[in-house]
Structure 1
Amino acid sequence: MSTLTRDERLAGAVALRTAGEKERAKDQLVVLAAEFPDDLEIAFQTAWAHDTLGLEAAAVPFYETAVGRPGLPPDDRKGALLGLGSTYRTLGRYAESVKTLRQGVAEFPDDGGLRTFLAMALYNTGEHREAVGTLLHLLATTSGDAGVTDYREAIAFYADRLDETWPG
């Protein structure tokens, strides 16, 4: 048993990950997660450590713990929902990805990352119209490109009307 506190150990593991020592960080976080299995912050950091190593399947249970109940700070919760949703997608679990990312967008509607990953997952589930519409809305609201800003209103209007035509 370490003489360091939970917070000191967690901060040390996060510092290792930030410094590029991802495997050591993961190993320390796995020990912490075993000691504190209901700790949302440790679960999130452990999931993230696995994800950075390409260990997506191993990250899932930690992400699920992290988002399973309220308690994470908003930025961490947003990151955990995006991480879990994108990890589900990577693993081919598309319906779970869409469900998770929809939840993330509902909680954080202005987050472009969540909306982008939701569009990718929607594409994977065959919901192409909604996927493109989501991306067009994101493009219309966030782009600084003159070719987009000049047509911002039209792009936003047509994002929900991709299949409509008008007599001309």
Structure 2
Amino acid sequence: MKDVIERAIALRRVEKHEESRALLSDLLRDPEHKTQAHLNIAWSFDSEGKENEAIPHYKECLKGHLSKEDRFNALLGLASTLRCLGHFEEALPYFQTLSDEYPDSEAVKPFFAMCLYNCGQPKKAVEMLLSTLLSTTNSDEILAYSAALSLYSEDIERTW
């Protein structure tokens, strides 16, 4: 069955999305492989620009057992897809779960910040982006102001 998933991934990579999903659909009835099938079907829909169709597959795969990496990718895929479709409030708890379960992942933070902004929390969004910038930049010009930026990352509205 693993070779079926690998073939489906190869088809998705060359944008043969329907063929990829057709291979995976047989695995949806296989308890051992349905989680991976759902995840790869979600990715196929997402990469084809059919985000609405991806959502139920992301949700289904998250009900099963996933490796740590696959769980991260499924959560980020679902949260990002929900956000880009304008389902900001629904996306927010998935971003929070990502932040809680994968606190060292810098990749989550810009997407989470965008969702916070979309949910009417611009202060928290900017603070998160500043904190991420400070922890990831190599820019000497930005690092020269790290003390001030660090204070603002804790409270963007701070004044003296």
Count of residues in correspondence between the two structures:
159
Give distance in 1, aligned partners of 2:104 and 2:147: 18
Q: Aligned ranges for residues 68-83 of structure 1 at < 5 Å?
A: 68-69=63-64, 71-83=65-77
What 5-or-longer segments of structure 2 have no aligned partner?
none
Q: Aligned ranges for residues 125-164 of structure 1 at < 5 Å?
A: 125-164=119-158
Which residue in the other structure is 1:40 paired with? Answer: 35
Q: Is the 1:82–1:113 Cα contact (8 Å) retained in structure 2?
A: no
Determine helix, strand or coil for the equivalent of 1:112. coil
Give distance in 2, aligned partners of 1:24 and 1:155: 50
Which digits, 9 at most, give the CA deviation of each residue in 1:7-58, with x for residues without a partner? 111111011112333332233223433x236722221111111100011111
Give distance in 2, aligned partners of 1:9 and 1:105: 33
Q: Is the 2:134–2:146 Cα contact (8 Å) retained in structure 1?
A: yes
When the two structures are superposed, what TM-score results if normalisation uses the length of structure 1? 0.87
Give distance in 2, aligned partners of 1:164 and 1:79: 36
Which residue in the other structure is 1:3 paired with? Answer: none
Which residue in the other structure is 1:118 paired with? Answer: 112
Give distance in 2, aligned partners of 1:84 and 1:156: 31
Which digits, 9 at most, give the CA deviation of each residue in 1:46-99, with x for residues without a partner? 111110001111101110112235x21111111111100011112211111111
Give distance in 1, aligned partners of 2:3 and 2:62: 23
The one-letter code sitting in structure 2 at the alignment partner of 1:137 is: S
What 5-or-longer segments of structure 1 have no aligned partner?
1-5
Over 4 Å off, 4+ runs? none
Give distance in 2, aligned partners of 1:146 and 1:138: 16
* CA-based RMSD: 1.7
When the two structures are superposed, what TM-score results if normalisation uses the length of structure 2? 0.91
Determine helix, strand or coil for the equivalent of 2:156. coil
> How much identity, in percent, do the aligned residues show?
32
